[in-house]
Amino acid sequence: MVDGPRRWWGGPLDTEHLARTEVRRVRDAAAELAAARGLDIRIDTTDALTAASFAAHEHLRIDGRAPRAWGEFSGFVAGRDGWVRLHGNYPHHAAIIREVLGIDDRAGLEREVGRREVAEVETRIAAAGGIAVAVRAEHEWQGHPHHLATAGDPWSSVDDRRGRPELSSLHEPIAAPAGAVEGRPATLPLTGVRVLDLTRVIAGPTCTQLLACLGADVLRIDPPHRPEILAQHLSTGMGKRLALLDLRRDADRLRELAAEADVILDGYRPGALDAHGLGTEDLERTAPQAVLVSLSAWGEHGPWGGRAGFDSIVQAATGIAVRCGTDGRPGALPVQALDHASGHRMAGHILDGLVRGRATTIRVNLLGAARTLLAEPSPDARAAPPAVGREALEVPRVSVMSADGPLEAVPPPLRIEGRTLERPVGGYGAATVGWTR
């Protein structure tokens, strides 16, 4: 049990405990990995780093300016019989909302949702490939078919497949990565480890940013027709290389990269990559040596197993939004904790697999993070002192360079020998499709 004074965030759920637990878990895994590779270095974290990293997007400054957080069609909207939460940050999702409801702006969204039942809005937008859920209380979610099908599923699972090369033999020679900071050890725990990153938004990129800052060669591949939101890339892009590759034409090239990777992360909705020969079972055959990670919003089975989703959407469906609401209006956690906690949980499992020298298949879902948080004792039950807000902690921003200008950003929540792990952020889509060594 990881307990401590509740100082960062208010609200009825112990988000702070969740954050501390997952960051300390990955800290311990990183320290064990460093020792396994013969590195005499001290790895630790701080409360300030942990708290700030869970709000990394909020703390980001691009050439002194804060990025816009939400799109026009994102957020809570009142329906005829309740509330709906929509996600329209990405242009293709906003276009679906616009087309399904026949609207042009936020006023039209509120008008059209307001005259419909929330179940209709949820069903029609989801059927068209958009992102929307009816806001449910916990007892309502517990009666939902997807909850009934997945209630016994863990937040994360690890399947051990077979042996793999010892860490000491991974892509020698071990050398300091490009962009290393003066005074940092010349060798980092993941130097020489290749990570193929097929994730987007927050959870997966948070995980792979940490791996990159621990020395891994992280190559992220994005589809050119669905670009990432720039601020999200900048807030989780330290140390990575990001290339564009269209799987509709170049899936063979991605399979070649996968065959040479030590770690592969897939954040697409379940089944989305199967047609390209890049589903989890395909990757187990293509890259039998690799630690594989499959990240989903709702898990991989049940009525919603094939749906896409986001942290805010899972909060709304499962009862968190109702618990965090006031005066009959739903609310949200103070940070997108399901994403960040899941990202650190994935990183911990990856490091564990590398320490043990085993090829594993890791499955993580945001729904499991929500279930875990809802099952935690309330903050009051821990007899913690009242929250005083995140302003009580100094935000440990660092200055880093990016192709889009100077950034003030929060580094990953680990330190080596008391130093934070910031790295430069490369240009979006500017990397070569290939490994550096």
Q: Domains in the chain, please, with CATH?
A: 15-65+153-306+335-420 (3.40.50.10540)
pLDDT tens-digit profile of 144-168?
999 999 999 999 999 999 777 666 5
Number of residues assigned to the chain? 437
The one-digit pLDDT tens for each residue of the chain (437 residues) are 344 545 688 899 999 999 999 999 999 999 999 999 999 999 999 999 999 999 999 999 999 999 988 999 999 999 999 999 999 999 999 999 999 999 999 999 999 999 999 999 999 999 999 999 999 999 999 999 999 999 999 999 999 997 776 665 555 434 444 444 454 555 799 999 999 999 999 999 999 999 999 999 999 999 999 999 999 999 999 999 999 999 999 999 999 999 999 999 999 999 999 999 999 999 999 999 999 999 999 999 999 999 999 999 999 999 999 999 999 999 999 999 999 999 999 999 999 999 999 999 999 999 999 999 999 987 765 544 444 444 456 889 999 999 999 999 999 999 999 999 999 999 999 999 999 87
The pTM score is: 0.93
Cβ burial, residue 161 (10 Å; 0-12/13-18/19+) = middle
SS3 281: helix
Contact 396, 420 (CB under 8 A): yes
- Map 83-146 to HEC letters: EEEECCCCHHHHHHHHHHHCCCCHHHHHHHHHCCCHHHHHHHHHHCCCCEEECCCHHHHHCCHH
Q: Are strands 61-62 and 43-44 parallel, antiparallel or unpaired?
A: unpaired
- Beta strands of 252-320 (E only): which ranges? 263-266, 291-296
Containing H/E element for 311?
A: helix 311-318
